[in-house]
Amino acid sequence: MGFFHRRVRRFTKAESFRQFMEGVRTLQMYDAEADKKEPDEDLLNQHLDNAEKFFRGCVETYPNDLLPRYYFGIVLSVRAQVVQAREFRSELEKKPEPPAVSPERLFLQAAKHFEKIAQQVGGGKDGRDLLAFSQYNQAQALAKTPPIQKVDPVKNL
Amino acid sequence: MFQRVAKLWRGADANDDQMHWNAAVRILQKIDPRLVMTRLSRKQRFEAWLRFKLGNLGIRNPIDAWLNQHKRNSSEVSAGVAVPLKEKHGEDRAFEIQVRVLEYAIQLRKQVYGGRRLTLEDLPQDQESEKTRARLVAKGGARTAGIAGAGATVRDFVARIQEDTIPSEAQKDIVADYWNKLAFISWEKAKLEKEQGDGPWLRQARKYIDIALKGRPTWTPAQLTLARITAAERSTEEARKILARVLGKKNENVPAPALPPASAPASDAIADMILKMAVERDPEAVASHILRSYGALSQDTVRKVTLALAGKVDARLLNDIFIKVPITPVSAPQ
């Protein structure tokens, strides 16, 4: 299988690299806004949406490029955390809003992307680092899911 | 077929309700497989070896089942995942401790939901008592391998971290991550125990989150835990303020940001047009079309079109097209 492994910094096309860089730049803008004492909710949402769009586009069009997929996994984990916080806010405001997508699903999607990187990544120091970080992030995403409820066989009868 | 075999292997005590967490533990142990083996008995090591061989023959499910079934006992979990860390320095060591902290947190969470008894006495009390405990372990373990010896645990490593070789920013990350995880687990336990307003688990959670936020006051995951604890303490308004720091505040006066310029329509449309007409290799005709449709181009637009077409269109043809299109030095409206 080693033959099919990818180099970490390799991009299939210039367009993939361009989209990836735009995504990273937008994610940095998100971070900068989130670090402010009073961040603006619309700006945060806009930056996260844009970052997700760039990385998603990259992953869908160039599925073999590893770095965009890694960052897409990170964006999905951040999004899951945001959805959790929103759900909690609605709970406090007693205005329950069903989320478009559950945080658990986002965490599981993120874990899938990290798992795929771990399968695709090649050797070298960069490769080893990305493999370890992807595995850690995959475990982190899985660990953040809620406990799965046990099915009661008596009730199910 | 193999799933059935796996079920038999697991026996009656299987813990399927935590399967994502079990998967997470398996992944963490894979990051450095040697760490998994160090604390197993001779018999367990032999069994693991046997199952590894079975795994090579394609029987993976029984291995997974066995790993799921290998549960640490309560004292192992509450003491911290008792796995010695390798002698390493700096960033590598920091990463390895983070891996072990996560494994420790998962094991604790499994204990909280698994029905096995987790008491407050099993968990760290505060930073000072943990440092004292770690020093005692270090002294006692000197006969083996000091703080990195078999007696040392994640709790000891985190307590002694400031005397370690890890860079200070990484130290802060690990300390915040560790205490935040403990705070979250204590909050979860308080919820299961139906503590409201005040209670021993909630008080412990508050103690932990205060330590976590000392080094990283704006760190989002800790802010979210803080909001949860604060709400459980019945300070709903305060919890909402904390959530506003995480999610941001609505501000009607600030216009929403435009998309980054790279996705602006003109450069994309021009690139698309060039791509479609490139087959005719007529730079003059393409330049005329661009000029008629878009007028003079900005340097910015030319740069983006060039970048978008790199590798797709012959560089000489692209050059011939842009020579014939007037270029303005400042950004033209797109």
Domain residue spans in chain A? 2-156
Q: Do B240 and A93 touch (CB under 8 A)?
A: yes
For the stretch B178-201, pLDDT in tens is 999 999 999 999 999 998 888 999
Domain assignment of residue B290, given as a range: 261-328
Q: Do B53 and B90 fall within a single domain?
A: no
Q: Do B303 and B232 fall within a single domain?
A: no
Q: Do A142 and B109 touch (CB under 8 A)?
A: no
Flag whether B207 is in a domain: yes
Q: Do B165 and B84 fall within a single domain?
A: yes
ipTM above 0.90, yes or no: no
Q: Cβ contacts (< 8 Å) between B312 and chain A: which residues?
A: 13
Q: Do B226 and B87 fall within a single domain?
A: yes
User: What are the DSSP E strand ranges found in chain B?
Assistant: 297-298, 327-328
Q: Do B121 and B191 fall within a single domain?
A: yes
Q: Do B322 and B186 fall within a single domain?
A: no
User: What are the DSSP E strand ranges found in B138-294?
Assistant: none
Which of B267, B264, B274, B311 minimizes the C-alpha distance to A11?
Answer: B311
Q: How many CA atoms lie within 13 A of B129 on its CB side?
A: 7
Regions of chain B short of the pLDDT cut 50: 1-16, 33-41, 45, 48-71, 79-87, 142-151, 261-264, 330-334
Q: Do B266 and B293 fall within a single domain?
A: yes
Q: Which residue's structure tokens are 């941001």?
A: B248
Q: Do B94 and B219 fall within a single domain?
A: yes
Q: Do B194 and B102 fall within a single domain?
A: yes
pLDDT at B268: 85
Span of A8-12, A34-38, B47-51 with lowest mean pLDDT:
B47-51
Q: Into how many domains does chain B fold?
A: 3
Q: Do A143 and B102 touch (CB under 8 A)?
A: yes
Q: Do B118 and B170 fall within a single domain?
A: yes
For the stretch A102-155, pLDDT in tens is 999 999 999 999 999 998 887 676 788 888 899 999 999 999 998 876 555 555
Chain A stretch 80-119, residues whose beta carbon is closer than 8 A to a beta carbon of chain B: 81-82, 84-86, 88-89, 92-93, 108
Flag whether B303 is in a domain: yes
CB A95 within 8 A of CB B240: no
Q: Give me the sign of the Cα torsion angle B29, B30, B34, B40.
A: positive
pLDDT at B313: 81
Flag whether B272 is in a domain: yes
Q: Do B81 and B222 fall within a single domain?
A: yes
Query: Which helix (H) or strand (E) covers residue B67, if one does?
Result: helix B60-69
Helical packing angle, B19-31 and B90-114, nearest 10°: 160
Q: Which CATH number fits domain A2-156: 1.25.40, 3.90.320, 3.30.70, 1.10.3470?
A: 1.25.40
Flag whether B254 is in a domain: no
For the stretch B166-182, pLDDT in tens is 667 778 888 899 999 99
Q: Do B89 and B223 fall within a single domain?
A: yes
CB A36 within 8 A of CB A43: no
pLDDT above 90 covers a percentage of chain A that reads 66
- pLDDT-derived band at A27, boundaries 50, 70, 90: very high
Flag whether B333 is in a domain: no
Compare CB distances from B21 to A14, A89, A142 and report the shortest one's residue.
A142
Flag whether B255 is in a domain: no
